[in-house]
Amino acid sequence: MNSNTHNLFKISTIILFISISLFHFTKSPQTLTLTPKSPRTNYIVRFTNYKHAHHHKKYLEHNTKKKFNGSSNWEWIDRNNAASRFPTDFGVVSVDDEAVNSVVEEFQRLEMVKDVTIDSSYQLRNLLGGNEKVFERIGAFSDAKKRPGKIFTSMSFEDNQTVEWRRELLSHKSQVTSLFGADGLWSKGYTGGKVKMAIFDTGIRSDHPHFRNIKERTNWTNEDTLNDNLGHGTFVAGVIAGEDAECLGFAPDTEIYAFRVFTDAQVSYTSWFLDAFNYAIASNMDVLNLSIGGPDYLDLPFVEKVLELTASNIIMVSAIGNDGPLYGTLNNPADQSDVIGVGGIDYNDHIASFSSRGMSTWEIPHGYGRVKPDVVAYGREIMGSKISTGCKTLSGTSVASPVVAGVVCLLVSVIPESERKQILNPASMKQALVEGAAKLSGPNMYEQGAGRVDLLESYEILKSYKPRASIFPSVLDYTDCPYAWPFCQQPLYADAMPVLFNTTILNGMGVIGYIESPPVWHPSNEESNLLSIHFTYSDIIWPWTGFLALHMQIKEEGSQFSGEIEGNVTVKVYSPPGLGETSFRHSTCVLHLKLRVIPTPSRSVRVLWDQFHSIKYPPGYIPRDSLDVRNDILDWHGDHLHTNFHIMFNMLRDAGYYIETLGSPLTCFDARQYGTLMLVDLEDEYFEEEIQKLRDDVVNTGLSLVVFGDWYNVDTMVKMRFFDDNTRSWWTPVTGGANIPALNDLLAPFGIAFGDRILNGDFSLNDELIKYASGTNIVKFPSGGFVHRFPFYDSSESGATHSFLAGGKDNADSAILGLVEVGGSRIAVYGDSNCLDSSHMVTNCYWLLRKILDFTGKNVKDPILFSNSVKLETSLHQDDDQLPSRRTDLNFSTYSAVLGKELICRSDSRFDVWGTKGYGLQVRGRNRRLPGYKAIDLGMGLNSSSDISISKSPKVVDRSKENSSGNKFLGLLYRDDLDAPVVFPSHWLVPAAVGVLGILLLINFWRIRQKRRRRRKGSNSSGRFSNL
């Protein structure tokens, strides 16, 4: 056989083999990891008023009949539960998936419809095992895949230190109720009598021997049972009201109303909760315990119903979450100011490692979070009732929550029944708890809130309580460290960014209240006049709570002052008259300040942290920074100096640096005041004015830059895409670990750019071992700079369409760290932020950051970093068209504070540029847009309802343009039609095309063979084939 023919045969065989392999390995991600698409999806239609369900049904049918010509593309779902006999403010409809957009648009057009949202589901998923099952701490994600249901975090669990903590329990020789002094109130006749306690959980058995007063059991699920077959609801009820001698509850005479809102499969839907909440309101519950939570504080139907429930004078107690010891991990609804959020401690009054830490992240990146939890209670190895009889121990904040709920029931019973509704409400109960709490030595305010619940102190407060308003926390004392961390960690000084302190107004006078006049600062002495405070606060205090934020600056004349400033902030609140009253209620709230002030530090040690360009979940799918983390795929901890970067913040302060936060665009700070601007793990875009000003600041003003990037790879983002069975939509990462295309735009004037590799591995520098976790590479850097390269494993080529190949390869050395001088300024770039982020850190690189800041701020060059062996003789270069590109298949402006928005300096910038476009800018701001998209001006904040509402129409991809990877075909796979997903046959089209090619080659090969045979028969040649 001729060699060319033989080669052709081998090629054909190989292509056929590849096509068969593709059929086997390139199945659609949907068939491997996603829930199959169902023909219909349930939606919640919320109305602007309460009516019986059949009225709402007729309203929708009548007003959409003409539009749909009587077609059955949607139908009303009747809900036969205990709430059916009461008016409701919502309905559940089943909508054909193909008609979703038209039906939702028509519903939202109706005057009486408030909004339309997916009927999302919640899941406890193994909160407790069954009778003998071991409880597992499992959240919403496992092995980088999202589990069915609404996103939640892990709940109560069997403790691994059971033996140790049981010994601790035995050493106390008492019940947890005795540790709070509950027996002292029992002896006075207070046992929780005539207090209606709603327990939202997995139900309870009617004949359970531990309970004397089970008033009602209701089932809100699609299962035909009222019993608890999991054990979680029974345990929670036992902590609150159990009467077994081995596991006593706090209020044994409390009336238990068991709301079974979770199935045996540990699933629940938002509509079940909304119905159950409505029934709790209609049934006049006094207290409600909810031991679930998750990071999505933008689930508006759920969040707003909680607000309505507390506005109805129901005291809600909820677990703060089991995502500790990480900061910025508060769970909703416990993070709401109208809810009593409970953290956990052990029997030595140490914050439990599992207890989530504050601050609240609703307000950042453009503000400052509130103090949460409100209080802490024992939450490790608590005794409670088993599913049928007997006792067991569990740990978690979902155990600490019923401890506080039991305390609350006991306190409610102290007030005569005829006076309860006039005195007790969510605000007055929280006032009694936080004012009576015992502050623990050691933990800061974002770990312990007001401190450990003190039942007897709160009892004394309630005995003589008169309706009033107050501020929590009521004191900010810079000399009280570590409780006042992070404020006590860094003194105030002149010419700094404002220091923000966000407090909660508790209004025990009424569900609604108003600020009578602007807050006032009352300095205690002449020196205290050096403090300037601007205030932002709630226009309306509802329900029961509001906020008062302090923006504090030292005046310029205090630039050399060293000492303490002290005084009070007062704010007057008023509410409508109470029952039987004729005049408005008035109250003056007082916040005491004691602040430390130092002379303004030198520029070289002042560092400015860019918070403005950080985006987190919610509302967008912002992926984790380390792809090795498989059980927490969302970036939801805030990326703030005082949340998941708090250890770095403490380290820099200990090293003598002063770090300030910028929550406004880069035009809103005076570069002459700072030695270094830090850009770490940033996801947002930049205004053109920001890029220009930063260039001028570096070139002309002497500002230095430190940039820590993260991975960015389009193929990997597509691979991380998944179909969410709850929202019936595709979830795709909004960006990578960092927005590398935007950072490259910012760094372009300096000849610096990052690439799109995803590098993993260990390297050693200065005899320090550092883990490089899903970092990126440097592909452009100017000559004369110093660039450090190391060999890493590159996983960036394991794209969605090549999953059958090995997921990465060993690379030659990759550039990851670069340092260069630019005139009188200095720039340092590094491709991975995980070594600074305490969320999923393997090894820290704080020592490296210190050396970098010594270089950028003080021009101190460490010999290890500035060795001649790493100096660039020629620039590192890559063509611009080869740099990472933006995706054009999603509307980034929905999540951005830049795209479609006006450039404006916010209230977290210095007072002199509030409401302006910044320093030295005379031009008007303009909307910035991504290539391929018109500028979109939403006219609202990131936390507005539109961020999670149903889109009016699917997003359209411009197929005439190549996507960011430069491949038109793959662009079809990158579509992000969230509300009308298109199933593209990527699992058969590619192998089919390859297979057809292989068959054509084989046919061609066969025809050539046939021709040669005929020639051999008709010739007298030697029989050898001529060359083809």
Reported as a single tens digit per residue, the pLDDT across 814-836 is 999 999 999 999 999 999 999 99
Instruction: Judge if the upstream peptide bond of residue 623 is cis by omega within 30 degrees of 0.
Output: no
Owner of token pair 């960690």: 489
Helix (H), strand (E), coil (C) string for 17-42: HHHHHHHHHCCCHHHHHCCCCCCEEE
- The answer to whether the beta carbons of residues 819 and 785 sit under 8 Å apart is yes
Question: What pLDDT is recorded for position 209?
Answer: 97
Residues counted in the chain:
1028
CA terminus-to-terminus distance, the chain: 11
CA distance 312 to 424: 12
Arithmetic mean of pLDDT, 191-216: 96
pLDDT of 16 over the 80 cut: no
Per mean pLDDT, which range of 172-181, 374-383, 513-522 is the poorest? 172-181
> How confident is residue 890, by pLDDT bands cut at 50, 70 and 90?
confident
Tally the C-alpha atoms within 13 A of residue 535's C-alpha that lie toward its C-beta: 16
Question: What pLDDT is recorded for position 17?
Answer: 53
Question: What pLDDT is recorded for position 749?
Answer: 97
| Residue 398 appears among annotated catalytic residues | yes
CA distance 785 to 195: 72
DSSP per-residue codes, 428-497? HHHHHHHHH-BPPSS--HHHHTT-B--HHHHHHHHHT----EEEES-EEETTSTTTTTTGGGS-B-BTSP
Owner of token pair 């700072």: 674
543-575 residue pLDDT tens = 999 999 999 999 999 999 999 999 999 999 999
DSSP per-residue codes, 332-392? BTTTSTTSEEEEEE-TTSPBPTTS------SSTTSS-PBP--SEEEE-SSEEEE-SSSSEE
Per mean pLDDT, which range of 65-79, 136-150, 252-266, 978-992 is the poorest? 978-992
Question: What pLDDT is recorded for position 119?
Answer: 85
CA distance 740 to 735: 9
Question: What pLDDT is recorded for position 421?
Answer: 86
Q: What is the dihedral of CA 66, 69, 70, 71, to 10 degrees?
A: -130
Per mean pLDDT, which range of 618-622, 701-705, 933-937 is the poorest? 933-937
Question: What pLDDT is recorded for position 839?
Answer: 87
- The answer to whether the beta carbons of residues 124 and 1003 sit under 8 Å apart is no
793's CB contacts (< 8 A; 6+ apart) are 759, 760, 761, 808, 809, 810, 811
Question: What pLDDT is recorded for position 807?
Answer: 44
> How confident is residue 796, by pLDDT bands cut at 50, 70 and 90?
confident
* Average pLDDT of every residue of the chain: 83
pLDDT of 1026 over the 50 cut: no
The more confident residue out of 631 and 65 is 65
Q: How far is CA 391 from CA 200, 235, 247, 453, 974, in A?
A: 21, 9, 6, 24, 53
Pairing label, strands 88-96, 141-142: unpaired
604-628 residue pLDDT tens = 999 999 999 999 888 888 888 777 7
- The answer to whether the beta carbons of residues 330 and 361 sit under 8 Å apart is yes
Q: Dig out the tokens for 906 from the structure.
A: 């916010």
Q: Which of 398, 428, 907, 951 is catalytic?
A: 398
Question: What pLDDT is recorded for position 993?
Answer: 57
| Residue 640 appears among annotated catalytic residues | no
CA distance 575 to 514: 6
Per mean pLDDT, which range of 14-28, 690-704, 712-726, 961-975 is the poorest? 961-975
pTM score: 0.83
Which H or E element spans position 700? helix 688-700
744-781 residue pLDDT tens = 999 999 999 999 999 999 999 988 899 999 999 999 99
Which H or E element spans position 272? helix 270-282
- The answer to whether the beta carbons of residues 370 and 328 sit under 8 Å apart is no
Arithmetic mean of pLDDT, 918-922: 72
Arithmetic mean of pLDDT, 294-318: 92
Q: How far is CA 731 from CA 32, 33, 621, 622, 719, in A?
A: 16, 13, 7, 10, 11
Highest mean pLDDT among 159-168, 244-253, 266-275: 244-253
pLDDT of 675 over the 80 cut: yes
> How confident is residue 136, by pLDDT bands cut at 50, 70 and 90?
very low
pLDDT of 797 over the 70 cut: no
Arithmetic mean of pLDDT, 862-883: 95
* Nearest Cα residue to 401 out of 368, 369, 379, 374: 379
Question: What pLDDT is recorded for position 155?
Answer: 47
Q: How far is CA 50 from CA 220, 269, 313, 530, in A?
A: 20, 21, 18, 54
Q: What residue type is 520 in one-letter code?
A: V
| Residue 78 appears among annotated catalytic residues | no
Q: Which residues pair with 773 in a beta bridge?
A: 760
The more confident residue out of 1026 and 477 is 477
The more confident residue out of 772 and 802 is 772
429-447 residue pLDDT tens = 999 999 999 999 999 999 9
Which H or E element spans position 178? helix 176-179
Question: What pLDDT is recorded for position 130?
Answer: 32
Question: What pLDDT is recorded for position 981?
Answer: 33
Q: What percent of the chain has pLDDT over 90?
A: 66
Rg of the chain over Cα atoms, rounded to whole angstroms, equals: 32
Highest mean pLDDT among 94-108, 357-371, 428-442: 428-442
CA distance 905 to 284: 46
Q: Dig out the tokens for 39 from the structure.
A: 């023909």
pLDDT of 3 over the 80 cut: no
Question: What pLDDT is recorded for position 810?
Answer: 52
pLDDT of 792 over the 90 cut: yes
Q: Which of 232, 642, 646, 788 is catalytic?
A: 232
Question: What pLDDT is recorded for position 741?
Answer: 97
Owner of token pair 């063509």: 879
DSSP 294: B
Owner of token pair 């021709």: 1011
Q: Dig out the tokens for 761 from the structure.
A: 């591995």
Highest mean pLDDT among 502-511, 710-719, 924-933: 502-511
From edge to edge, which strands make up the β-sheet containing 88-96? Answer: 74-77, 88-96, 40-51, 113-118
> How confident is residue 68, by pLDDT bands cut at 50, 70 and 90?
confident
CA distance 477 to 249: 37
Per mean pLDDT, which range of 23-37, 338-352, 451-465, 874-888 is the poorest? 23-37
* Nearest Cα residue to 721 out of 150, 145, 298, 151: 145
* Nearest Cα residue to 828 out of 787, 870, 875, 771: 787
> How confident is residue 927, by pLDDT bands cut at 50, 70 and 90?
very low
CA distance 383 to 178: 13
Question: What pLDDT is recorded for position 984?
Answer: 36
Per mean pLDDT, which range of 143-147, 594-598, 616-620, 883-887 is the poorest? 143-147
Alpha carbon 246 to chain centroid, angstroms: 39
Pairing label, strands 759-765, 793-794: antiparallel
Helix (H), strand (E), coil (C) string for 559-584: CCCCEEEEEEEEEEEEECCCCCCCCC
Which H or E element spans position 515? strand 513-515
Q: Dig out the tokens for 636 from the structure.
A: 């939801």
Per mean pLDDT, which range of 154-163, 200-209, 370-379, 805-814 is the poorest? 154-163
> How confident is residue 719, by pLDDT bands cut at 50, 70 and 90?
confident
402-420 residue pLDDT tens = 999 999 999 999 999 999 9
Question: What pLDDT is recorded for position 841?
Answer: 84
Q: Which residues pair with 788 in a beta bridge?
A: 817
Neighbours of 965 (CB within 10 A): 18
Q: What is the dihedral of CA 905, 907, 908, 911, to 10 degrees?
A: 80
pLDDT of 1023 over the 70 cut: no
Helix (H), strand (E), coil (C) string for 908-974: CCCHHHCCCCCCCCCCCCCCECCCCCCCCCCCCCCCCHHHCCCCCCCCCCCCCCCCCCCCHHHHHHC
CA distance 495 to 910: 8
- The answer to whether the beta carbons of residues 659 and 649 sit under 8 Å apart is yes
Q: Which of 115, 201, 335, 724 is catalytic?
A: 201
* Nearest Cα residue to 500 out of 469, 529, 527, 536: 536
448-473 residue pLDDT tens = 999 999 999 999 999 999 999 999 99
- The answer to whether the beta carbons of residues 642 and 359 sit under 8 Å apart is yes
Arithmetic mean of pLDDT, 489-511: 98
> How confident is residue 1027, by pLDDT bands cut at 50, 70 and 90?
very low
CA distance 549 to 655: 30
pLDDT of 963 over the 90 cut: no
Per DSSP, the three-state class of 617 is coil
DSSP per-residue codes, 35-85? PPPPSEEEEEEEEEEEE-HHHHHHHHHHHHHHHHTT--SEEEE---SGGGG
Question: What pLDDT is recorded for position 662?
Answer: 97
* Nearest Cα residue to 680 out of 769, 732, 609: 609
